[in-house]
């Protein structure tokens, strides 16, 4: 049985992950609207991955005999000044999620909850990847700017991203 404080913290993280999915779905719609279908695809894949992250926590709570609580999801923004601005906000958000995961790791350590600590190591690694991906795209956007052929080359590259569901055992 999972500790009640840890259970509550994971339930809050489920909400954070679902908000992330909601945010990226909103960004996908924004990119569709401004005609950048590759960017839209990248964000849509990101949306699906964030739902996987939420569901990984969801399944974990159930496996540990915890109670899942689904809180209201806040409304995300729906407009950004530019593709660069959207990705800067994405990086800012991922840094927030990294902080949330680190706080969960700290709690698991305090509680000596080795099972949760082990689960969280996957998320720690995932956050390193998330931030690196965002930083790479931001650097490309800084180099090419928000208009012109360079932007369309990035769009074409981002269109290649595909969704790979998490394996059930992960």
| Beta-carbon-side half-sphere exposure of residue 152 (alpha carbons within 13 Å) | 4
Integer Cα distance of 68 and 114 in angstroms? 20
Q: How confident is the model at residue 167 (pLDDT cuts 50, 70, 90)?
A: confident
The structural domains of the chain, with segments of one domain joined by +, span 4-72+80-158
Quick one: fold of 4-72+80-158?
Answer: Ferritin (1.20.1260)
Q: What integer is the mean pLDDT of 118-142?
A: 98
Q: What is the pLDDT of residue 84?
A: 97
Integer Cα distance of 133 and 129 in angstroms? 6
Q: Tell me: the pLDDT tens digits for 104-121?
A: 999 999 999 999 999 999
pTM of structure = 0.95
Q: What is the pLDDT of residue 148?
A: 85
Structure tokens at 4: 């009640």
Q: Tell me: the pLDDT tens digits for 71-97?
A: 999 999 999 999 999 999 999 999 999
Nearest to 10 by CA among 74, 54, 72: 54
């Amino acid at each position: 049985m999972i500790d009640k404080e840890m259970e509550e913290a994971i339930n809050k993280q489920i909400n954070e992950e679902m908000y992330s999915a909601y945010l990226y779905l909103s960004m996908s719609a924004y990119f569709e609207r401004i005609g950048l279908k590759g960017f839209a695809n990248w964000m849509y894949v990101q949306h699906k991955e964030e739902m996987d992250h939420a569901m990984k926590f969801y399944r974990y709570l159930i496996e540990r005999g915890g109670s899942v609580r689904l809180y209201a999801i806040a409304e995300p923004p729906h407009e950004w000044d530019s593709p660069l601005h959207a990705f800067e906000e994405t990086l800012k958000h991922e840094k927030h999620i990294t902080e949330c995961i680190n706080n969960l790791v700290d709690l698991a350590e305090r509680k000596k909850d080795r099972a949760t600590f082990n689960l969280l190591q996957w998320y720690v690694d995932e956050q390193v990847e998330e931030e690196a991906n965002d930083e790479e795209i931001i650097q490309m956007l800084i180099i090419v700017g928000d208009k012109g052929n360079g932007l369309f080359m990035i769009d074409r590259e981002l269109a290649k991203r595909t969704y790979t569901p998490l394996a059930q055992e992960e």
